[in-house]
């Protein structure tokens, strides 16, 4: 019966097949979609990848995977109407009543699983509460997901919820630094089964009973009724034939919930009863918006002075130092300016702990144990120090050479001449561009969301799936960025005008 299900992706009767373009995000990794080498051949694997091939065969099309960020898949699907870059979104898309009009019947039933270190004292959901010393447990969860909303509804006052961009980030943080960065995490059952029950993270274990059943669906455009109905039929056929079971067993995903999927597909869809999740509104996020605003301000006001201080020292070293000093400083500036801020923060937060373990360096271990906030400050300061050094170097070099010679002739030492004569004039010249960099730093704090810091942009991404709320939140955040940046713009403009008059 299944022999004709998977149709070769090539040519049918001399005509090229229509594409079945399915959107997903490989960054999410196994067991959904991932690249691997099988029998010496690199290929795309994952239970959703195999399902996509099956659906394409049923539709007599050729499957084509289209990469997109997971949390933007619904927007990518709906963005261009019939001219969209994808035909469906299928990558752990969670069922909600808002998506019922665009979604198929479910192809997977999942639950939420609590994951901790093997040496953790956390044994059940009731243990997610402040420790005896009052410290709240840090619990990781994939941002803007059903699991994230569930934790917010049931545990927000008891724990510190740490939203992550990827599942494996939480697993890595729990294993690093003896779990000091994250005490537990809540993940969908496919990830828990594949990574934890599958032994891929031996220091972690699944505890407590499953919570909050939900469904993965395929998202189509709302007016694409024919495609949606064909996919519904294909899902039911795969369930009845045992194909779903064979695929899910291959990835260690078959459990009692999947055994109940047959009955779910025979019942009216969507179900009337579902896990109650509070509807988020802009008002309900007021405290989080203020907290994210404070985080943005704190990161900027702490990082910028450090960047300026480092920039001045680097500029002085490059202008007045010997070649032994100038060369490494020049390399530092070019490396920092030549690599993305995102990569630099990633290396400090994620790579450094692994390096510390490999080298058993106490200094690196202490650095690796820094909280995310301090890593954000350090990362921003290091990145901006390279740019500030170039600004100050240009300012120093713009001062006539005779100024230094005159200072030395008056009996000042070289260091005194730099501090009392050269730097005051150079700083006066570079205040406007430095102020502009300060404005840019407010916006660049958004990069810190990748290390689980919830600043303004990070808060937006945590609530992006609710389109109405996302639009409202985007407007509020844009206004707040303007409120932070515009006064500094006025300051920079005023300083430029004063400097122009002084030099006239």
Tell me which of 100-104, 149-153, 243-247, 458-462 is least confident: 458-462
In this structure, whether the domain defined by 11-107+217-266 belongs to CATH 3.40.190.10 is answered with yes
Domain(s) labelled CATH 1.10.3720.10 in the chain stretch across 283-503
Rounded CA separation 291/285 (Å): 10
> Residue 490's pLDDT is what?
83
> Residue 274's pLDDT is what?
58
The model's pLDDT over 26-43, given as tens digits with 9 standing for 90+, comes to: 988 889 999 887 777 788
Give, in order, the Cα–Cα distances in Å from 431 to each of 67, 385, 388, 405, 495. 43, 15, 11, 25, 7
The model's pLDDT over 457-480, given as tens digits with 9 standing for 90+, comes to: 888 888 877 777 888 988 999 999
Q: Is the pLDDT of residue 501 over 80?
A: no
Q: What is the mean pLDDT of residues 141-167?
A: 91
Instruction: Look up residue 39 and give its DSSP letter.
Output: T
Confidence of residue 502 (pLDDT cuts 50, 70, 90): low
Give, in order, the Cα–Cα distances in Å from 356 to each of 24, 202, 347, 368. 34, 20, 12, 7
| 292 neighbors 456 (Cβ within 8 angstroms) | yes
The number of beta carbons lying within 10 Å of the beta carbon of residue 278 is 10
> Residue 275's pLDDT is what?
58
CATH superfamily of 108-215: Periplasmic binding protein-like II (3.40.190.10)
Q: Which residue, 349, 331, 374, is CA-closest to 450? A: 349
> Residue 277's pLDDT is what?
67
CATH superfamily of 283-503: MetI-like (1.10.3720.10)
**How does strand 34-38 pair with strand 11-12?**
unpaired
Rg (CA), the chain: 28
Confidence of residue 273 (pLDDT cuts 50, 70, 90): low
Sheet holding 88-89, edge to edge: 62-67, 19-24, 88-89, 219-220
Angle between helix 286-320 and helix 372-398 axes, rounded to 10 deg? 40
Q: Is the pLDDT of residue 196 over 90?
A: yes
Q: Is the pLDDT of residue 11 over 50?
A: no
The more confidently predicted of residues 79 and 278 is: 79
Rounded CA separation 101/271 (Å): 13
**How does strand 19-24 pair with strand 88-89?**
parallel
Tokens standing for 412? 């000042």
The model's pLDDT over 422-440, given as tens digits with 9 standing for 90+, comes to: 888 888 788 888 888 999 9
Q: What is the mean pLDDT of the chain?
A: 87
The more confidently predicted of residues 153 and 14 is: 153
Q: Is the pLDDT of residue 396 over 80?
A: yes
The more confidently predicted of residues 327 and 364 is: 327
Q: Is the pLDDT of residue 397 over 50?
A: yes
Confidence of residue 178 (pLDDT cuts 50, 70, 90): low
The model's pLDDT over 323-340, given as tens digits with 9 standing for 90+, comes to: 899 999 999 999 999 999
In which element (H, E) is residue 36 found?
strand 34-38
> Residue 424's pLDDT is what?
82
Tokens standing for 475? 């407007």
- What is the CA 219 to chain-centroid distance, rounded? 22
> Residue 460's pLDDT is what?
86
Confidence of residue 364 (pLDDT cuts 50, 70, 90): confident
> Residue 84's pLDDT is what?
73
Residues constituting the chain: 504
Give, in order, the Cα–Cα distances in Å from 393 to each of 165, 316, 317, 324, 413. 38, 7, 9, 18, 20
> Residue 177's pLDDT is what?
59
133 three-class SS:
coil
Region of 241 (left: φ > 0; alpha: ψ -120 to 50; beta: rest) is alpha
Confidence of residue 15 (pLDDT cuts 50, 70, 90): low
> Residue 399's pLDDT is what?
84
Alpha helices in 59-197 (DSSP H): 73-79, 146-155, 167-175, 189-191
> Residue 63's pLDDT is what?
95
> Residue 296's pLDDT is what?
95
Confidence of residue 303 (pLDDT cuts 50, 70, 90): very high
Confidence of residue 81 (pLDDT cuts 50, 70, 90): low
> Residue 173's pLDDT is what?
85
Rounded CA separation 188/210 (Å): 10
The model's pLDDT over 442-455, given as tens digits with 9 standing for 90+, comes to: 989 999 988 888 88
Domain(s) labelled CATH 3.40.190.10 in the chain stretch across 11-107+217-266, 108-215
């Amino acid at each position: 019966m299944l022999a004709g299900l998977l149709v070769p992706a090539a040519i049918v009767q001399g005509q090229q097949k229509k594409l079945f373009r399915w959107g997903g995000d490989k960054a999410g990794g196994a067991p959904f979609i991932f690249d691997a080498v099988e029998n010496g051949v690199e290929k795309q694997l994952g239970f959703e990848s195999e399902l996509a091939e099956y659906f394409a065969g049923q539709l007599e099309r050729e499957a084509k995977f289209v990469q997109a960020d997971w949390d933007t898949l619904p927007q990518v699907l709906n963005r261009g109407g019939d001219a969209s870059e994808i035909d469906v979104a299928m990558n752990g898309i969670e069922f909600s009543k808002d998506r019922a009009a665009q979604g198929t019947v479910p192809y997977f039933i999942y639950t939420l699983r609590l994951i901790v270190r093997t040496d953790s004292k956390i044994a059940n959901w009731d243990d997610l509460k402040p420790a005896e010393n009052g410290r709240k447990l840090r619990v990781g969860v994939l941002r803007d997901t059903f699991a994230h909303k569930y934790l917010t509804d049931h545990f927000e006052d008891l724990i510190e919820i740490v939203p992550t961009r990827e599942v494996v980030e939480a697993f890595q943080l729990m294993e690093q630094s003896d779990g000091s960065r994250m005490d537990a995490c809540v993940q969908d059952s496919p990830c828990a089964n594949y990574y934890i029950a599958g032994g891929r993270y031996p220091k972690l274990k699944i505890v407590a009973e499953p919570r909050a059943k939900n469904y993965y669906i395929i998202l189509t455009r709302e007016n694409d009724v024919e495609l949606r109905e064909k996919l519904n039929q294909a899902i039911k056929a795969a369930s009845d034939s045992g194909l779903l079971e064979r695929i899910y067993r291959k990835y260690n995903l078959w459990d009692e919930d999947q055994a109940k999927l047959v009955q779910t597909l025979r019942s009216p869809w969507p179900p009337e009863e579902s896990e109650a999740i509070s509807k988020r509104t802009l008002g309900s996020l007021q405290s989080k918006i203020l907290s994210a605003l404070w985080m943005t301000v704190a990161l900027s006001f702490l990082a910028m002075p450090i960047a300026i201080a480092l920039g001045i020292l680097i500029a002085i070293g490059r202008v007045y130092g010997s070649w032994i000093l100038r060369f490494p400083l020049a390399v530092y500036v070019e490396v920092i300016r030549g690599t993305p801020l995102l990569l630099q923060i990633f290396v400090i937060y994620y790579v450094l702990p692994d390096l510390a373990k490999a080298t058993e360096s106490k200094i690196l271990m202490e650095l690796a144990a820094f909280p995310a906030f301090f890593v954000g400050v350090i990362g921003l300061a290091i990145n901006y120090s390279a740019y500030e050094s170039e600004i100050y170097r240009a300012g120093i070099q713009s001062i006539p050479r005779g100024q230094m010679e005159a200072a030395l002739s008056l009996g000042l030492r070289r260091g005194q001449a730099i501090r009392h004569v050269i730097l005051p004039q150079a700083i006066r010249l570079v205040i406007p561009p430095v102020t502009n960099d300060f404005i840019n730093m407010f916006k660049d704090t958004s990069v810190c969301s990748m290390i689980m810091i919830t600043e303004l942009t990070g808060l937006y991404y945590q609530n992006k799936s609710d389109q109405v709320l996302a639009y409202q939140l985007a407007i509020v955040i844009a206004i707040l960025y303007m409120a932070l940046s515009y006064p500094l713009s006025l300051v920079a403009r005023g300083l430029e005008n004063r400097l122009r008059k002084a030099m006239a």
